[in-house]
Amino acid sequence: MFIKDYFNIYEKFSKSSNLLRKFSIISQKQAICKYLKLNKNFVINNINYCFFESEENYLISVFTNDNLNYIHINSRKTKEYPRSFENQENFEVFLSIFATISVLLNLNYQINNLNDSRLLLKQKEKIEDIAYCIYYDEKFNLNLSNYINDKLSYIKNIYYFGEDFLFCLFKNFYLKNILKEDLFKILNIDEEDFKKLYSHFKLKIKKNISDENALNRLKGEL
């Protein structure tokens, strides 16, 4: 599957709304930095970050629309990182911040490296300037090491594909909108990982459906 295919699946099964504030390329650096720092958790929770290895040459893929925000960092390509970063994890954190700012600027792209001409020089310089400002702020950390270092393969799948992406898939499996065999194919998992992932999400899925039903009943009474 291509990286874009995963976004298309996410878009098909998700019912999210894009709640993030969007800026223009001419917005002041200080305004974007302030918004990101003050709303760090909110921003992170409204973007699906994934890091699965892809044979495509894209280093970063950013897809954003009126409903969804999806960022993919190709962990196959981050194994070789610039000397300015201590390790792969730090490089991925920086790339995640770079891509997050791109979402806030309402940009969609797939690039092979940070100097890829598919991202205009003006855009790249602005994003990079803000990204370094945020990167050196210790308050902003995606805590990727919790997933990278975990030996449990089903936990690593959350790092690879993103929490919300997996939640959407397993919710639709629960609702019988998608087959188990399709999940195996999309996620490249076995029966054991399936059971553990499904167990991880099941209570959250039931609560989400219960909340949706309660909201629909309330709307019907108005």
Question: Does one domain contain both 131 and 173?
Answer: no
Question: Does one domain contain both 71 and 137?
Answer: yes
Two tokens, residue 114: 């940070």
Cβ neighbours for 208, distance < 8 A, ≥ 6 positions apart: 171
Nearest Cα neighbor of 129 from 30, 11, 57, 195 is 30
At 158-182, the pLDDT tens digits run: 889 999 999 999 999 999 999 999 9
Contact 140, 39 (CB under 8 A): no
Count the domains in the chain: 2
Give yes or no for residue 221 having a pLDDT over 80. no
Structural domain of residue 56, as residue ranges? 3-146
At 101-159, the pLDDT tens digits run: 999 999 999 999 999 999 999 999 999 999 999 988 766 666 555 555 555 667 888 88
Pairing of strands 69-73, 109-111: unpaired
Nearest Cα neighbor of 161 from 4, 50, 76 is 50
Question: Does one domain contain both 139 and 181?
Answer: no
Residue 63 — pLDDT band, cuts 50, 70, 90?
very high
Question: Does one domain contain both 111 and 203?
Answer: no
Reported pTM: 0.90
Choose one of 146, 174, 209: the last residue of a domain: 146
Classify residue 43: in a domain, yes or no: yes
Choose one of 146, 176, 195: the last residue of a domain: 146
What are the helix and strand counts (H, E) for the chain?
10, 4
Average pLDDT over residues 66-85: 94
Say which DSSP state 109 is in: E
Question: Does one domain contain both 26 and 136?
Answer: yes
Torsion (CA) 198, 5, 55, 178 in degrees, nearest 10: 30
Q: What is the pLDDT of residue 41?
A: 86
